[in-house]
């Protein structure tokens, strides 16, 4: 939760931007300018994970930030990785169609089978006609990605 802890923001350690009501605001309320869709996890091997898709499948050791903006998540992860001497990993994806990098949360809300493509195709490429090598990489998912 993004809330005031010990008199300050748990994510930054500084004074809460919302003042006294900060202790009653949840991290998914979106009332704080620091709220977002990214989490920072310390994994079992001490590597850090910046994630926009929730909790990692491998059991994390610790959560450093939950539901914060990407820039804050990256800052927190970098700072801690320097302290621990470990790597920062992310859940950023590579689009199978264009090769560009994207975050799953960049996709606008939608419904239907196209959501299946959100983990494999960037927002620019979801919905395009897929053929050849891209369709081969997607396999059965090619029918649902556009």
| Res. 124 pLDDT band, cuts 50 70 90 | confident
Reduced to 3 states (helix: H, G, I; strand: E, B; else coil), residue 111 is: coil
**What does the pLDDT read at residue 46?**
93
Q: What are 53-101's pLDDT values in tens digits?
A: 988 888 899 999 888 999 999 999 999 999 999 999 999 999 988 899 9
What is the 8-class DSSP label of residue 1? Answer: -
- Reported pTM: 0.79
- The encoded tokens of residue 84 equal 């621990």
Cα–Cα distances in angstroms (integers) from residue 10 to residues 13, 68, 79, 113, in the given order = 5, 11, 15, 38
Cα–Cα distances in angstroms (integers) from residue 55 to residues 33, 59, 65, 92, 98, in the given order = 22, 8, 11, 14, 27
């Amino acid at each position: 939760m993004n809330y005031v802890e010990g008199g300050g923001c748990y994510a930054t350690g500084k004074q809460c931007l919302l003042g006294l009501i900060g202790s009653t605001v949840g991290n998914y309320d979106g009332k704080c300018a620091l709220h977002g869709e990214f989490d920072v996890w310390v994994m079992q091997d001490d590597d850090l994970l910046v994630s926009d898709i929730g909790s990692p499948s491998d059991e994390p050791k610790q959560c450093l930030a939950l539901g914060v903006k990407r820039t804050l998540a990256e800052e927190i992860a970098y700072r801690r990785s320097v302290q621990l001497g470990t790597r920062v990993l992310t859940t950023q994806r590579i689009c199978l169609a264009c090769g560009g990098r994207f975050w799953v949360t960049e996709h606008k809300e939608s419904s239907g089978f196209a959501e299946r493509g959100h983990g494999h195709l960037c927002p620019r490429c979801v919905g395009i006609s897929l053929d050849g090598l891209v369709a081969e990489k997607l396999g059965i998912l090619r029918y649902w990605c556009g």
